[in-house]
Amino acid sequence: MQYHSALSTATAVDAVEPYMCKKVTKEIDETPADMKPKMFGLIKEFTPKSVKVTSEKIDGDQATLSLIDNSAQSTPRGITEKTAGTVTLVREDGTWKIDKESWNSNITSGPTDHESTQ
């Protein structure tokens, strides 16, 4: 998604506002100026850097995308974090814009030291 590419290089929330629907940009505009950098930092930190769309459902001027984090990796100890998300889009002036994003992560571990020595 273009949004994720823009987010990865953005240094301020203004750079990704073109991808957001009017409702979200209004909420951003109403956020106190001193809170915007902190809010943007959290968005950047918790949004996966590389995603793959696994399904999409379009219903008129609304769409729902299911995504997975393409950058998930295992550690040498076998700990893996799998992240999946849902993005709701709305069509405004003929362009799809982000309305909502939600992400969930599951962390799974590999065998314990005891299990790996047996």
Model confidence over 8-58: pLDDT tens digits? Answer: 889 999 999 999 999 999 999 999 999 999 999 988 888 888 889 999 999
Please give the pLDDT value at position 117: 46
Total count of domains within the chain: 1
- Tell me if residue 110 falls in helix, strand or coil: coil
Q: Which of 3-7, 44-48, 57-61, 111-115 has the lowest mean pLDDT?
A: 111-115
Whether pTM > 0.75 for this model: the answer is: yes
Domain annotation covers residue 51: yes
Whichever domain contains 68, its CATH number is 3.10.450.630
Once rounded to an integer, what is the mean pLDDT over residues 96-109?
A: 90
Domain annotation covers residue 117: no
Domain enclosing residue 27, as ranges:
2-111
Domain annotation covers residue 118: no
Per the CB < 8 A criterion, the answer to whether 50 and 69 are in contact is yes
Domain annotation covers residue 116: no
